[in-house]
Amino acid sequence: MIDEKLAAALRTAMGPRLQPNRIREIYSQFEGTGKRLVAFEKGKVLARREDEIERILVLVKGTCRVLNHGSDGRVVMAGEVEAPQIFGLYEILNGMDHHTADVETETECICFSVAPRLYREQYETSMEVLKFSSHFLATFIDRLLARSDRMTLNTDRQNLLLYCLDACKYERFPTVIAVRKETMAAELNMNLRTLYRKISQLRDEGLIGNHRGKIRIDREQYDRMKRETYENI
């Protein structure tokens, strides 16, 4: 049986952005068994890598930070994403029952929560749910490819700057990147000797600091790196 309310919720999420004061009014019409609107404070953890997927979260308002992990389990890169997003969709459609990344709220957020079983059933029976899910997945893949292209086409310096920016969390300056250099070099597809040389150059320029052999970044350094990086991309 097709769940028209879920289809309508996705149609609304993927459509023109609603005024914030209308979100609760509109989405309350779509609530029901396995579907409800949920509000999250800034700094709330929505998902942890390897945790079981207990709900699919359609981000309808706010910004989240997605943290990925290197081969040693440490956080090695992060990205900010704004509404609309669907957290957990990629995993369940690939037959996984657990999250593959951490998701934290960067601002106050509102999500439309859907039971995974319901979402999967509707994906297989509702053309609208299939259409909106496919649109989101295409956007998701485009973003991954753009990042891959950037890592391929950029200079080693630019990629290291991006890596440092991705590792920072705004409220927690100074940030110490507690990742082994071997892991960092592998993630950046960079020779280890080259990585050490680039780190030394950034340190000499005052763009990064040092804390017990690890890269340390304060707010001023973060802002300087951000200006240089996005002026050159």
Backbone CA torsion sign across 7, 11, 13, 19: negative
Amino acid at the residue 142: D
Residue 43 is given by DSSP the state T
- Pairwise CA distance, residues 45 & 36, whole Å: 18
- Pairwise CA distance, residues 158 & 85, whole Å: 28
> What CATH fold (topology level) applies to the domain 154-231?
Arc Repressor Mutant, subunit A (1.10.10)
Domain boundary assignment for the chain: 4-151, 154-231
pLDDT tens over the chain, length 233 residues: 888 999 999 999 988 888 989 999 999 999 999 999 999 999 899 999 889 999 999 999 998 888 776 555 555 555 678 889 999 999 998 899 999 888 999 889 999 999 999 999 999 999 999 998 988 888 777 766 666 665 566 789 988 998 898 888 655 789 998 788 887 887 787 889 999 999 999 999 999 999 999 999 999 999 999 888 876 54
Q: φ, ψ for residue 25 (rounded to 5)?
A: -60, -45
- Pairwise CA distance, residues 86 & 120, whole Å: 13
pLDDT reported for residue 183: 76
Strand order in the sheet with 85-87: 35-40, 109-114, 56-61, 85-87
Amino acid at the residue 99: H
**Which residue(s) pair with 175 in the sheet?**
217
> What CATH fold (topology level) applies to the domain 4-151?
Jelly Rolls (2.60.120)
pTM of the prediction? 0.64
Which two structure tokens, joined as six digits, stand for 76? 């090695």
